[in-house]
Chains A and B, each alone.
Chain A
Amino acid sequence: MLIIIPAYNEQEALGGLLGEIRSLSHEGTKLEAVVVDDGSVDRTTEIARAGGARVLRLCGNLGIGGAVQAGLRLACREGFDYAVQIDGDGQHPPAELSRLLEAAGRDDHPDLVVGTRYHDEKTFRSTVLRRLGSWWLRVILRVVGVRVTDPTSGFRLYGARALKLFDETYPYDFPEPESLAVARAAGLRIAEVPVKMRERQGGSSSIFGFSAFYYMFKVTLAIILTYGRARLRGSR
Chain B
Amino acid sequence: MQADEMWLKEGTWIFAGVCLVIALVLLRLLFRERISLQGSMSYLTFLLVLGSMAMFPQTTTRIAQWLGFTLLSNFFFCTAIALLAILHLRALVMLSKVHLRSIALTQELAILNEKIDRLEAASAPPESRAA
Chain A positions near chain B (C-beta within 8 angstroms): 34, 36, 54-60, 62, 66, 69-70, 73-74, 77, 172
Q: Which of B85-111 contact A (CB under 8 A)?
A: 103, 106-107, 109-111
Q: Report, as a range, how many residues of chain B touch the other chain.
A: 10 to 19
Q: Which of B103, B106, B109, B114 contacts A55 (CB 8 A)?
A: B114
Any A CB within 8 A of the CB of B59: no
The residue of chain A having its C-beta at the shortest distance from the C-beta of B109 within the complex is A59
CB neighbours (8 Å) of B118 from chain A are 54
Chain B positions near chain A (C-beta within 8 angstroms): 103, 106-107, 109-111, 113-114, 117-118
Contact B106 A62 (CB under 8 A): yes
List 27 A-B pairs, Cβ < 8 Å.
A34-B114, A54-B118, A55-B114, A55-B117, A56-B107, A56-B110, A56-B111, A56-B114, A57-B110, A57-B113, A57-B114, A58-B106, A58-B110, A59-B106, A59-B109, A59-B110, A62-B103, A62-B107, A66-B103, A66-B106, A69-B103, A69-B107, A70-B110, A73-B107, A73-B111, A74-B111, A172-B103
CA gap between A127 and B107 in the complex, in Å: 34
CB neighbours (8 Å) of B117 from chain A are 55
In the assembled complex, the CB of B125 is this many whole angstroms from the nearest CB of chain A, namely: 20
Contact A66 B113 (CB under 8 A): no
The residue of chain A having its C-beta at the shortest distance from the C-beta of B117 within the complex is A55
CB neighbours (8 Å) of A70 from chain B are 106-107, 110-111
Contact B106 A36 (CB under 8 A): no
CB neighbours (8 Å) of B114 from chain A are 34, 54-57, 74
Contact B111 A36 (CB under 8 A): no
CB neighbours (8 Å) of A172 from chain B are 103
CA gap between A54 and B118 in the complex, in Å: 9
List 9 additional A-B contacts (Cβ < 8 Å) besides A54-B114, A54-B118: A34-B114, A56-B107, A58-B106, A58-B110, A59-B109, A62-B107, A70-B106, A70-B110, A77-B111
Most chain A CB within a 10 A radius of its CB, from B103, B110, B111, B113: B110
CA gap between A59 and B107 in the complex, in Å: 9
